[in-house]
């Protein structure tokens, strides 16, 4: 029997800690002793910490420090609103950790699908805390893990109970990402790794042409539930029923056999059908109850020692579907090179700075396979905005009312000049210079920017009133509505607005057109009569800003 030396050593250290604690209890328990006891608690936590699985050095980013003494808010860039009907979508500019913190307030458990294409931690592609992480950085994997882990922890909270997450990654960080996701989402919820044929042309440089050429990138797939995951799959035709009898059309199917040994072997699956037994060492693939059902209606027959059943259209779906293969070929789904060319076509320029772009076809396939008619899709590493276009294209090609939320920073003006311009172009059909790209796609877009309200050493009322100035954006984001022209939601922040609200409410006939949710400023007081009227009309009241910022103490 092997000895776990690490475990033995930890036990010895914990024993020493208990000895020191016992000594302290017998000594004068002054401030120094209390401080030492606190140190011992810290040591004990470290020693008892995780020793198996993904273990990495945690790193704090500057955004973590900002969020310690600031609350994130959203401010709309109204001049950037794009209106072409359809579903209302959102583009959030700012550090995606702050954006995720805000989405945790508005979309907890509400996101149906997450797709992300995070930085791959290769060469100069990974920027951590506003600095490019060099290949020689001894903590590059820890920094990458810390960066991704914190964001995926929030992503898990955002997913609905039947949601999926797809994560693009290359082979260098694939194993690390798998460990992170296994820990956050659960190893049992891992579905598969999809391979994408990223390129078909070799790198023909002097140093690369004789090297092993990378061809495939990967997409990790996890579900946020334990039940079997089923996808939509494409219908490619109808099954044929070439034969008929007095009971209608049918097709013949041989009742198959399988090996009876091993864990799948069951004696109950060995029985005669029309006097025929399975071959020695085999068993039927169908159970006796199913066989009896076909036999009772006269839909079994035998020929040359084989048994067949008549399958009729009422026994199955008559549709023939194409399997959802975990391989995206370049021929069907395009390559990074073709995606880059398409991005250049959309923007009307090759000077966009994106060398590796995911294809619209590939992301549209993920969206189609994993969503129903109504769904919200999130991408918090939005890059050039391919995910958003894929959602709009999916609505056009397959029908539905899917919407998206994108999050990205504005490093090198990416959000404004690339992501936004791409979305504005594909929605309106016209490029920034007025030239025509397409007929456009149904959908609208709001552009929100992440800002911060300082809360350090300030009274509650000082920053609570500042937060109220940004509540409208959170209301719109949570409810996916344009507040202007909306009759179902109301925001009331002053006594004058409250008086006007109730005057209008009393005039309205109760029905479809009236307010259903009232967002009420924290310093407004409702009378007994007003509370009674709200209850009678079924109007839900949410006190703001506490509704969105429950961490406040006021």
Instruction: Tell me: pLDDT of 112 over 60.
Output: yes
Instruction: Tell me: pLDDT of 134 over 70.
Output: no
Q: How confident is the model at residue 6 (pLDDT cuts 50, 70, 90)?
A: low
Read off the DSSP letter of residue 207: T
- The per-residue pLDDT for range 142-198, each reduced to its tens digit, is 778 888 999 999 999 999 999 999 999 999 889 999 999 999 999 999 999 999 999
Q: What is the mean pLDDT of residues 36-40?
A: 82
Cα end-to-end distance, the chain, whole Å: 60
Q: Is 397 helix (H, G, I), strand (E, B) or coil?
A: helix
Quote the distance between the C-alpha of residue 388 and its chain's center: 13
What is the rounded CA–CA span in Å between residue 86 and residue 396?
Answer: 10
Q: Give per-residue burial for 369-407: e unless 16+ CB within 10 Å, then b.
A: bbbeeebbbbbbbbbbbbbbbbbbbbbbeeebebbbbbb
What is the rounded CA–CA span in Å between residue 161 and residue 181?
Answer: 17
Q: What confidence score (pLDDT) does residue 292 get?
A: 94
Which has more confidence, 528 or 55?
528
What is the rounded CA–CA span in Å between residue 259 and residue 257?
Answer: 7
Which has more confidence, 95 or 239?
95
Instruction: Tell me: pLDDT of 489 over 80.
Output: yes
Q: What confidence score (pLDDT) does residue 497 get?
A: 94
Q: Give the angle 101-107-109 at the CA atoms, nearest 5°.
A: 110
- The per-residue pLDDT for range 244-290, each reduced to its tens digit, is 999 999 999 999 999 888 766 777 899 999 999 999 999 999 999 99
Q: What is the mean pLDDT of residues 380-403?
A: 97
What is the rounded CA–CA span in Å between residue 350 and residue 342?
Answer: 10
Q: How confident is the model at residue 547 (pLDDT cuts 50, 70, 90)?
A: very high
- The per-residue pLDDT for range 311-368, each reduced to its tens digit, is 999 998 888 889 999 999 999 999 999 999 999 999 998 888 888 899 999 999 999 9
Which ranges of 297-335 does DSSP label H, i.e. alpha helix?
Answer: 330-333
Q: What is the mean pLDDT of residues 492-511?
A: 85
Which residues are CB-contacts of 273 (< 8 A; sequence separation ≥ 6)? 255, 284, 291, 295, 300, 302, 307
Listed by start position, the domains of the chain span 5-47, 63-202+213-233+323-454, 241-260+267-318, 460-544
Task: Output phi, psi for 274, to 5 deg.
Answer: 50, 35
CB atoms within 10 A of CB 57: 11
**How large a percentage of the chain has pLDDT more than 90?**
66
Work out the burial of residue 412: count CB atoms within 10 Å of its CB; fewer than 13 is exposed, 13-18 middle, 19 or more buried. exposed
Q: What is the mean pLDDT of residues 14-29?
A: 82
CATH code linked to domain 63-202+213-233+323-454: 3.40.50.150
What is the rounded CA–CA span in Å between residue 268 and residue 480?
Answer: 55
**β-pair type (327-328, 70-76):** unpaired
């Amino acid at each position: 029997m092997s000895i776990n030396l690490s475990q033995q050593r930890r036990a010895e250290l914990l024993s020493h800690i208990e000895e020191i604690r016992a000594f302290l209890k017998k000594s004068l328990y002054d401030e120094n002793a209390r401080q030492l006891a606190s140190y011992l608690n810290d040591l004990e936590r470290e020693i008892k910490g995780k020793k198996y699985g993904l273990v990495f050095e945690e790193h704090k980013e500057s955004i973590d420090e900002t969020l310690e003494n600031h609350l994130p808010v959203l401010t709309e860039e109204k001049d950037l609103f794009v209106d072409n009907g359809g579903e209302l979508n959102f583009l959030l500019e700012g550090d995606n950790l702050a954006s995720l913190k805000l989405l945790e307030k508005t979309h907890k458990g509400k996101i149906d699908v997450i797709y992300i294409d995070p930085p791959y931690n290769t060469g100069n592609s990974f920027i951590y805390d506003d600095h490019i992480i060099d290949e020689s950085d001894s903590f590059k994997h820890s920094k990458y893990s810390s960066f991704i882990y914190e964001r995926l922890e929030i992503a898990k909270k955002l997913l609905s109970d039947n949601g999926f997450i797809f994560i693009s990654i290359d082979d260098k960080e694939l194993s690390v990402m798998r460990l992170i996701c296994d820990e956050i989402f659960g190893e049992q919820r891992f579905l598969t790794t999809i391979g994408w044929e990223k390129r078909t042309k070799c790198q023909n440089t002097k140093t690369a042409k004789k090297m092993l050429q990378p061809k495939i990138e990967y997409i990790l797939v996890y579900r946020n539930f334990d039940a079997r995951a089923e996808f939509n799959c494409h219908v490619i035709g109808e099954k044929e029923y070439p034969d008929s009898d007095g009971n209608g059309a049918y097709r013949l199917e041989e009742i198959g056999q399988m090996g009876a040994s091993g864990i799948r072997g069951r004696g109950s699956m060995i029985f005669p059908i029309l006097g025929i037994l399975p071959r020695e060492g085999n068993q039927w693939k169908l159970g006796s109850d199913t066989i009896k059902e076909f036999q009772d209606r006269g839909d079994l027959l035998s020929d040359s020692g084989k048994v067949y059943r008549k399958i009729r259209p009422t026994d199955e779906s008559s549709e023939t579907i194409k399997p959802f293969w975990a391989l995206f070929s370049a021929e069907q789904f395009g390559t990074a090179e073709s995606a880059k060319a398409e991005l250049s076509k959309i923007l009307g320029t090759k000077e966009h700075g994106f060398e590796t772009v995911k294809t619209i076809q590939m992301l549209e396939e993920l969206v189609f396979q994993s969503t129903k008619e109504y769904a919200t899709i999130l991408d918090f590493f939005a890059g050039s905005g391919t995910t958003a276009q894929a959602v709009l294209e999916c609505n056009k090609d397959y029908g539905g009312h899917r919407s998206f939320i994108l999050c990205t920073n504005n490093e090198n003006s990416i959000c404004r000049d690339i992501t936004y311009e791409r979305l504005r172009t594909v929605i309106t059909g016209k490029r920034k210079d007025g030239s025509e790209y397409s007929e456009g796609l149904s959908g609208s877009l709001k552009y929100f920017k992440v800002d911060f309200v300082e809360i350090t050493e300030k009274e509650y009322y000082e920053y609570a009133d500042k937060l109220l100035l940004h509540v409208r954006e959170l209301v719109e984001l949570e409810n996916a509505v344009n507040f202007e022209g909306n009759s179902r939601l109301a925001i009331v922040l002053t006594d004058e607005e409250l008086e006007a609200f109730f005057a209008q409410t009393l005039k309205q006939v109760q029905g479809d057109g009236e307010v259903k949710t009232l967002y009420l400023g924290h310093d407004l007081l409702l009378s007994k009569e007003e509370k009674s009227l709200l209850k009678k009309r079924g109007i839900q009241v949410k006190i703001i800003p506490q509704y969105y910022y429950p961490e406040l103490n006021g």
